[in-house]
Amino acid sequence: MGCLKGNSENKAKPGRFLCAKCGAVSKKKKHLCKAEKIKPPKDGSSASH
Ligand SMILES: [Zn+2]
């Protein structure tokens, strides 16, 4: 297991994971050394639903 070391394999989007150490983004938490979930933006009206 290693980290992507700054080479994001996915675009940063809510629900994906951002490495707090190197800043890489992945859908897979395990691909990162210090994964932190990207939160959806707080404000802005959530449309459909
Ligand atoms: Zn990392």
Tens of pLDDT, residue by residue over 10-34, are 999 999 999 999 999 999 999 999 9
22 alpha carbon – ligand 1 mean position (Å): 4
12 alpha carbon – ligand 1 mean position (Å): 14
Question: For the residues 1-14, what does the mean pLDDT come to?
Answer: 92
35 alpha carbon – ligand 1 mean position (Å): 7
* Domain residue extents for the chain: 1-39
15 alpha carbon – ligand 1 mean position (Å): 17
- Higher pLDDT: 2 or 6? It is 6
pLDDT of 41 > 90? The answer is: no
Answer yes or no: pTM beyond 0.75.
Answer: yes
CA-wise closest residue to 34 among 46, 26, 45, 44? 26
25 alpha carbon – ligand 1 mean position (Å): 9
